[in-house]
Chain A
Amino acid sequence: MPENAHMTPEFLIRAAGLGAIRGERVLFSDLSLEVKVGEALVLRGANGAGKSTLLRMLGGLSRPDSGTVERPVRHHWIGHRNGLKPHETPRAHLTHWGRVWGSSAEMKEIAGQMGIERPFDVAGRLLSAGQKRRTAIARLLLADRPLWLLDEPFSALDTQGKALVTGLIDQHRASGGAVIAALHGEAPFEASGEVQL
C-alpha cells in the first residue's frame, strides 16, 4: 500500500456548494461534503434523486452546475455500468485495466479473492449479472487508490458477494482508504456519514 502509506492528506475529497440541474428541475443545491481517510460516506435518496449525478460529479465525469470538487488523490470508479465488454473475459478485462494502471497484481489471486475463477475465461456476454459485477469490483484490487467511488456496488450480488465486497470496503478503510457509495438498502458496512438527497 505505498500510495496510502506515505501521504496523509487532510481530506481525500472535498466538495463545496455543489448543485445539479436536470432540465428545469433542481436535483440538489449547495451540497458540501468532505471525506477523510478511513471514512465511508453513503449517498441516499429515492430513484432519480441525483445519487448517481452527485457521484459522477465527484468522479469528474459531470461538470457541476455550481460549486467545486477537490480531489487530491486518485480514485477507483465502479459505476452503474460494469465496463466489461461483451466479448471480453474477466481475465482480459482485468489484464487490460491492469496494464493501463501499471498493476503487478496476480490475476489468479484476484480471481480467487472475488470468486470468479470458474467464469474467468468466459466472454462477458455469457456471464451472469452477478459475475459481471464481481469482475467490475475486482478492478478495485488491481491498483491501490485511496478513494473508491461506488454506485450501487451491491447490485446483482448474492449474499456471499455482498459479504465479500463489505470485507473489501472494511479492509480498504482500515488501510488508509475511503469510500463513497450510493446505496439503496441498508449499508452492510458501518457508514461514517450519510448524504440524503
Chain B
Amino acid sequence: MKTPSPLRAAFRQALGEAWAGGAGVLLPIGFFAGAAMLVPFTVGSEASQLSSIGTGILWVALALASLVSMERVFQADLEDGVLELWAQEETPLFLVAAAKIIAHWLVSGLPLVLLTPPIGIALQVDPGALVPAMLAYGLGGLAFFLWGGVAGALAASVARGGLLISLLALPLFVPTAIFGALATLEGPGGPSLLFLAATTLFALSIAPFAASAALRLAVD
C-alpha cells in the first residue's frame, strides 16, 4: 500500500454516514444525559451522597451510551453491500474497521466526553475535578467504542443484534471501567490513569483485528 488514501476515503465515508444519521449522533447523547439524570431521582438528591457516586455514574452512563448506536455501524455496510467491496480491496480490512470505529467515536463518542462536565455538575461532582477527568472519560470512551465495534462486527449479520452487542461488549469493558473509575477518583497524575490508558492501547491493538475477522465471517 503506497498511499493511505483508501483509508482516508473509508474514514470520510464513515464520518459522512454517522452524520447522515446512519449510526445516530444525537441518540447516544440523549441516552447518556438521560441515564445520568435519572440517578438523582432514584438514589435521592442528597448532595454528599450524589457527589460520592457522581463520577461512577458518569462511567456507567458512558459505557451504556457508547453501545447505543453500535448496532448499525457495520450492519449497514453489510446490508448495503459496501462491506463486500471493502473485503475485496487490497487495503487491509482491519485498518478499514479501525477507521470506521474511530470515525464513529469522533461523531458520537467525543460529544459524550464534552458533556461530562455539565452532567457532573448536576450530579454534585467537584467542578474542579471534572475538566481533568475528561481525559480519563475520553480514553475510556475510546476503549468502550473499540470493544463495542468488535461486538458490532460480530453481531453485524444478526437481526436486532443490539442486545447481543451489549452481552458481548460489557464484559470487555470491565478493566477500563475499573481503572477509569479509580483514575477519576485519584485525579490527574495518579497511576490509575496510566493503567486506564493501557487498557485503551490494548483495545486499540486488538479490536481492529478482531473486528475484521468478524467482518470476514459476516461477509462470507
Contact = CB atoms under 8 A, between A and B. Distances in A.
Interface residues of B, number: 27
A74 B5 CA distance: 18
Question: Which among B6, B9, B10, B16 has the highest number of chain A CB atoms within 10 Å?
Answer: B9
Decide if the interface of chain B is mainly helix, strand, loop or mixed: helix
Contacts, number: 68
Given A77-B84, A82-B81, A99-B8, A63 B89 contact: no
B186 interface: no
Contacts of A61: 84, 87-88, 219-220
Contact of B22 (A59, A80, A87, A101): A87
A74 B3 CA distance: 17
A85 B9 contact: no
B81 A80 contact: yes
Interface residues of A, number: 26
10 contacts: A61-B88, A61-B219, A63-B220, A81-B79, A81-B84, A85-B22, A85-B80, A87-B16, A92-B16, A96-B9
A59 B88 contact: yes
Interface in A70-119: 74-75, 77, 79-88, 92, 96-97, 99-102
Decide if the interface of chain A is mainly helix, strand, loop or mixed: loop
Given A102-B3, A102-B5, A85 B76 contact: yes
A45 interface: no
Contacts of A8: none
